[in-house]
Amino acid sequence: MKTMQRVLAVMICAGATLVFAGYTEAQGTPKASQPASVSQTIGMKNKITITYHRPGVKGRNVWKDKSDNAQIGALVPRDGDPRPWRAGANNSTIIEVTGDVKIGGKDLPAGKYALFMIPTDDEWIIIVNKEVKWGSFQYKEEHDVLRISVKPEEAPHQEWLVYGFENPSAYSTTAYLRWEKVKIPFEITMDEK
């Protein structure tokens, strides 16, 4: 009887070890830039969702200066660097709309898209691209659905990159990105039905 109890105890311990090992392997280590998403509905049921990863400033120089594109620790190309930024960390930032909308007055059909930005001091170019892939490494301009220019705004320090919505009304809202001391707003509207 004692032998059977020992065998059973060993099997339970071994099983628990395998379950725990499988759990930790499957879960991995949390990413430093955690995933997040934010949604807003306009119209009756036109849902806009932005899914992204949240890098932190962590005392670093976030924006590369055009005069010294090799700044140590600078994260995002700026001013004269035509490469788009994935507007977040890790995977591409995704914008998904369940109905047709306009971003900055330009038509965007319902669907799921990659959201990129090109920062400069005077204006930022917001790009919506139909190729939803990892990061901006495979970005191709010919897949752009729309591009708009917006004015950056100064804002209080924001340690972790965040997207949000403000000024919601029946048929419009303003989406924004905030990070470091910058806020990038862009208007999303839909036709009244």
pLDDT of the residue at 21:
38
pLDDT of the residue at 73:
47
Indicate whether 12 pLDDT > 70. Answer: no
Residue 104, token pair as written in the block: 């900055």
Relative to beta strand 124-129, strand 111-118 is antiparallel
| pLDDT (average), residues 60-72 | 64
Q: Please report, for residues 86, 105, 190, the alpha-carbon distance to residue 55 in angstroms, rounded to integers and kept in the order given.
A: 12, 29, 31
Return mean pLDDT, the chain: 83
Sequence-ordered list of residues with C-beta below 8 angstroms from that of 79, at least 6 positions apart, any chain = 65, 66, 119, 120, 121
Q: For residue range 166-188, list pLDDT tens digits in order.
A: 999 999 999 999 999 999 999 99
Q: How far apart, in whole angstroms, are the C-alpha atoms of residue 10 and residue 34?
A: 38
Q: Which of 93, 90, 92 is nearest to 30 (CA)?
A: 90
Q: For residue range 150-169, list pLDDT tens digits in order.
A: 999 999 999 999 999 999 99
Its pTM stands at 0.80
Q: How far apart, in whole angstroms, are the C-alpha atoms of residue 1 and residue 7?
A: 10
Spatial contact of 33 and 53, defined as CB atoms under 8 Å apart: yes
Among 14-28, 127-141, 169-183, the range scoring the smallest mean pLDDT is 14-28
User: What ranges in the chain are assigned the alpha helix state H?
Assistant: 2-27
